[in-house]
Amino acid sequence: MRAYILRRLAQSVLVVWAVTSIMFFMFRVMPADPTAMLLERGLTEEARQALLQEWGLTGTLWDQYVAYLGNILTGDFGSSFLYRKPVWEVLTPLIINTLWIAVPGLLLGAALGAVIGTAVGWAERGGKLERSGIFLATVIRGVPNFVIGIALLTIFSSTLSWFPGFGMGDPGATTGFARYMTLDFLHHLALPLIAVIIYFMPENLLLMRSGVVENRTEDYIELIRAKGVPQRRVAWHAARNSMLPLITWLFPALAETIAGIVVIEIVFSWPGVGRELVLAVTRQDYPVAQAAFFLLAVMIVLANLAADLVYGKLDPRVVYK
Amino acid sequence: MNDIQNPAASAAIQGRSPWRAAWDSLRLMMQDSFAVAGVAILILFVVTALAAPLLAPFDPFKAMMTETGRLARLRPPSGEYLLGTTAFGNDVLSQFLHGFRVALLVGLVAAVAVGFISTVFGVLAGYFGGWIDDVLMRITDVALSIPTLPFSIVAVALLGPSIENIILVITILFWRNGARIIRSAVLTERERVYVKWARAAGASHFHIIMRHILPNIVRVIFLWVTMSVAFAILTEASLSFLGLGDPTVISWGQMLNTAFSSGNLRTAWWWVVPPSLALVMLVSALYLIGRAYEEQTNPRLRRR
């Protein structure tokens, strides 16, 4: 077990290194003027040279690569061109904002999907409930997340005026950590959160349904049924065994959520990492774009690692090698 | 191989034609009523895309003018402009119809590119194993840690927003999952008795791959290709919605982006509803087809 954890950790470090190298390629080699990503236009030649030196942008590509790795692995992503402060100061509060819609959205979406998925999986094969459940879930899964966002925004914000559709709080609202505890914040949180839930529920539902369908014909279910246990409880037995694939799926999904809610953050002007990434790219604020991308990639690596470890704990059949 | 006299053994070694297997899989898919609905929508969309230049009443980029020489902005649907006009005076119907072409072009190229690359890598790695397999697995380990949408955003922004670059980025992103799925399907097929028989009877690797492995994994390939078409269309739409679309073509994502960024979401429903609805229909149709293949690949899901 310990050897397995160590091996997975080493593997994760390797993956982070590889992602960093891909980033070097993307941000340094791919653009026509690689220095553009770290140096603002319109600097004097002297200031430019000094900064080039400082950033390790001189010398061969190999020297640059080594300097680049050094900077990133020490967490030094430079300063934002726009905000004129270190990248981390810009991004840290945004990470929390993103997690605020990502984590509850995913958990609620998964829970809701699991419950409905069990009902659909347990329903009569070929019956009305099964067919309409599958059809609706498949169609909703096909709705792009910005269309979900636009629909929610138009209906509940513009037309009915039930919820605000912009940002995280009204102007002049409390700042700092206290702001997360206000009703105003929750009011603003509602729509983006619902959008994430709708976006993630169908896939959970279908996964859960497949699991329950596979399990319902197993002998152990037959045995429980034969004991005279009520239907609902029998379904629960099948559901419990179908949750394993759901849980393995949940962690990578969290990572993909964080990436995928970029679009939802944009629609609702929610100040998260994803929205900042898009804004940074369009403003050519490359240090911020690079750090945001790195952050999202590391989150995926960690989520995958967590999924592998948790899966082994939950399923005794998994043997660590 | 010619000296095999027993016809049964000879037939077993002959295997099946991959084309025949593909055709069978297609027919099996068409027995699923949801999938048939998906195929019908797909055909309707392809026909519309092909006929778009004939159907579109105006040039999608042309700004419409009123008789008094002013820009015909945000006109609701009327006899003149069937789906109204945008905030910039463009005819919504013409833009909408041209959007079919972009969506299906992206889907088609992604299907061919992703399908081909995934199959080649997946089959090579799964069948031969060894270093090819090691390299593929290490590459996909890394590739699976790349957040898809953020990667496309950065890559398209750095490469320049054009339809070619968007397709390139989509291909780079989505071959990896496909290759892994196809590889594991090949791994199970490789261990089957008839493959060993065929090998023992002196069949070449090429023969075994073409007539024993491919016919049995064709469902998996179809499933993956259908899903990658859906992902490709969604990715292009998302990028365009975020303002990273090709400025020289009109896509549905871009129409929504313009409506959103010009602040007309609420009022100009005629501008927002058609592209949204078309995207939902197209992607859902693909998912409905994909679901039928999923049931084929997992027999435990089939009704007994």
CATH number, domain containing residue A277: 1.10.3720
Q: Indicate yes or no: CB of A256 within 8 angstroms of CB of B151.
A: no
Q: What was the pLDDT predicted at B70?
A: 76
Categorize the per-residue pLDDT at B1 as very low, low, confident or very high, splitting at 50, 70 and 90: very low
Contacts of A26 in chain B (CB under 8 A): 154-155, 158
Q: Indicate yes or no: CB of B154 within 8 angstroms of CB of A277.
A: yes
Q: Is residue B2 part of a domain?
A: no
Q: What was the pLDDT predicted at B45?
A: 92
Model ipTM value: 0.82
Total domains, chain A:
1
- Give strand pairing partners of A79: A86
Rounded Cα–Cα distance for residues A4 and A15 (Å): 16
Read off the tokens for B192. Answer: 């089957």
Question: How many Cβ pairs within 8 Å bridge chains A and B?
Answer: 148
CB neighbours (10 Å) of residue B82?
14
Summarize the confidence of residues A150-157 as an average pLDDT: 84
Rounded Cα–Cα distance for residues A204 and A210 (Å): 10
Read off the tokens for B24. Answer: 């069978």
Q: Is residue B10 part of a domain?
A: no
Rounded Cα–Cα distance for residues A231 and A210 (Å): 18
Would the pLDDT of A308 be above 80?
Answer: no
Q: What was the pLDDT predicted at A43?
A: 67
Q: Which residue has the higher pLDDT, B7 or A312?
A: A312
Q: Is residue B289 part of a domain?
A: yes
Q: Indicate yes or no: CB of B266 within 8 angstroms of CB of A277.
A: no
Q: SS3 sequence, chain A?
A: CHHHHHHHHHHHHHHHHHHHHHHHHHHHHCCCCHHHHCCCCCCCHHHHHHHHHHCCCCCCHHHHHHHHHHHHHCCCCCECCCCCCEHHHHHHHHHHHHHHHHHHHHHHHHHHHHHHHHHHHHCCCCCHHHHHHHHHHHHHHCCCHHHHHHHHHHHHHHHCCCCCCCCCCCCCCCCCHHHHHCHHHHHHHHHHHHHHHHHHHHHHHHHHHHHHHHHCCCHHHHHHHHCCCCHHHHHHHHHHHHHHHHHHHHHHHHHHHHHHHHHHHHHCCCCCHHHHHHHHHHHCCHHHHHHHHHHHHHHHHHHHHHHHHHHHHHCCCCCCC
Read off the tokens for B183. Answer: 């590889």
Rounded Cα–Cα distance for residues A198 and A149 (Å): 10
Q: Which residue has the higher pLDDT, A46 or A221?
A: A221
Q: Indicate yes or no: CB of A138 within 8 angstroms of CB of B241.
A: no
Summarize the confidence of residues A246-270 as an average pLDDT: 78
- Give strand pairing partners of B65: B71
CATH number at residue B266: 1.10.3720.10
Q: Which residue has the higher pLDDT, A25 or A113?
A: A113
- Shortest distance between the Cα of B160 and any Cα of chain A, in A, equals 9
Nearest CA in chain B to A18: B142
Summarize the confidence of residues B165-169 as an average pLDDT: 91
φ and ψ at residue A269, rounded to 5 degrees: 50, 40
Summarize the confidence of residues B160-182 as an average pLDDT: 87
- The answer to whether A286 touches A27, Cβ cutoff 8 Å, is yes
Question: For chain B, what percent of residues have pLDDT higher than 90?
Answer: 21
Q: What's B299's DSSP letter?
A: G
Average pLDDT, chain A: 79
How far are the Cα atoms of A106, A254, A257, B126, B244 from residue A200, in angstroms, in the given order?
6, 10, 8, 32, 24
Q: Which residue has the higher pLDDT, B140 or B100?
A: B100
Q: Report CA dihedral (A223, A228, A230, A233) to the nearest 10 degrees.
A: -30
A151 touches chain B (CB under 8 A): yes
Q: Is residue B66 part of a domain?
A: no
Rounded Cα–Cα distance for residues B82 and A182 (Å): 47
pLDDT tens digits for range A95-116: 888 888 888 888 898 899 989 9
Domain of A202 in residue numbering reads as: 94-285
Q: Is residue A74 part of a domain?
A: no
A75 touches chain B (CB under 8 A): no
Q: Is residue B69 part of a domain?
A: no
Q: Indicate yes or no: CB of B300 within 8 angstroms of CB of A213.
A: yes
Summarize the confidence of residues B153-175 as an average pLDDT: 88
Closest by Cβ to B142, choosing from A18, A282, A293: A18
Q: Is residue A112 part of a domain?
A: yes
Q: Is residue B7 part of a domain?
A: no
Question: For chain B, what percent of residues have pLDDT higher than 70?
Answer: 94
For the four alpha carbons of A272, A274, A277 and A281, in that order, the dihedral sign comes to negative
Summarize the confidence of residues B107-127 as an average pLDDT: 90
Rounded Cα–Cα distance for residues A256 and B231 (Å): 13
In sequence order, the 6+-apart residues with CB closer than 8 A to the CB of A95 are: A272, A273, A295
B284 touches chain A (CB under 8 A): yes
Q: What was the pLDDT predicted at B85?
A: 78
Rounded Cα–Cα distance for residues A212 and B280 (Å): 28
Summarize the confidence of residues A232-251 as an average pLDDT: 79
Read off the tokens for B158. Answer: 């750095």
Mutant choice from B42, B145, B298, B300 vs A, greatest count of A C-beta within 10 A: B145
Q: What was the pLDDT predicted at B43?
A: 94
Give the length of chain B: 304
Q: Is B200 helix (H, G, I), strand (E, B) or coil?
A: helix
**Strands (DSSP E) found in chain B:** none
Token pair 């050519």 is at which residue? A284
Q: Indicate yes or no: CB of B148 within 8 angstroms of CB of A296.
A: no
Q: What was the pLDDT predicted at B281?
A: 93
Rounded Cα–Cα distance for residues A135 and A144 (Å): 16
B302 touches chain A (CB under 8 A): no
Total domains, chain B:
1
Closest by Cβ to B155, choosing from A26, A139, A144: A26
Would the pLDDT of B269 be above 90?
Answer: no
Q: What was the pLDDT predicted at A76?
A: 80
Rounded Cα–Cα distance for residues A169 and A103 (Å): 19
Would the pLDDT of B261 be above 60?
Answer: yes
Q: Is residue B104 part of a domain?
A: yes
How far, in whole angstroms, is CA B83 from its chain's centroid? 28
Token pair 């026909």 is at which residue? B47
Read off the tokens for B257. Answer: 């982006």
A139 touches chain B (CB under 8 A): yes
φ and ψ at residue A217, rounded to 5 degrees: -95, 5
In sequence order, the 6+-apart residues with CB closer than 8 A to the CB of A147 are: B256, B276, B279, B280
Summarize the confidence of residues A218-241 as an average pLDDT: 84
Q: What was the pLDDT predicted at B252?
A: 92
Categorize the per-residue pLDDT at B7 as very low, low, confident or very high, splitting at 50, 70 and 90: low
How far are the Cα atoms of A13, A229, A299, B109, B235 from residue B47, in angstroms, in the given order?
50, 55, 43, 17, 23
Q: Indicate yes or no: CB of B272 within 8 angstroms of CB of A154.
A: yes
Q: Is residue A16 part of a domain?
A: no
Domain of B273 in residue numbering reads as: 23-58+91-301
Summarize the confidence of residues A229-238 as an average pLDDT: 84
Number of H helices, E strands in chain B: 12, 0
Summarize the confidence of residues A274-290 as an average pLDDT: 84
What one-letter code names the amino acid at A85?
Answer: K
Q: What was the pLDDT predicted at B39?
A: 93
The vertex-B108 CA angle with B103 and B113, nearest 5°, equals 130
Q: What was the pLDDT predicted at B304?
A: 47
Question: For chain A, what percent of residues have pLDDT higher than 70?
Answer: 82
